[in-house]
Amino acid sequence: MAAREGLDDQRTGIKAIDDAWEAKEKREMDEFLAPARQAESALESMISKAIAKAVYEMVAKASRGASVERVTIMPKPIAGREGIMPMVSAAVEEDPHSECARFLSAFASGDEPGMRSVVREIVRAEAAA
């Protein structure tokens, strides 16, 4: 427990309760971040498939003796749908002291205790309401 001192002032000192609370917070954080992780995985998959297809077609053309010309591929905007990062950026600019802004700042800097603190505040506010 000494290694955690100073990182989390919400510990009770009762190992079983502290461990259960930590596990609960981890589950909540995983549920909160799951949609973003799934979207990231889907995007990575689409990019990998597109690259594999482009390389396959380029190799096929080269093996037939055709010359391969370089073409710049411009991304197509998704009509009627804004990406997550512009929406998040707009939310942060609107209120830089909001829970969203503080959570994203902690996430970007890899500050897990900071993320947990923000989530704790949100949960407490919801419970009090």
The 10s digit of each residue's pLDDT in 44-92 is 878 888 888 888 787 777 666 656 566 777 666 655 555 566 666 666 7
Among the listed residues 125, 110, 116, the one whose alpha carbon sits nearest the alpha carbon of residue 9: 116
pTM of the model: 0.33
Instruction: Give SS3 for 83.
Output: coil
Over residues 91-97, the mean pLDDT reads: 76
Question: H helices of the chain, where?
Answer: 15-63, 84-94, 99-108, 112-128
Confidence band, pLDDT 50/70/90 cuts, at residue 2:
very low
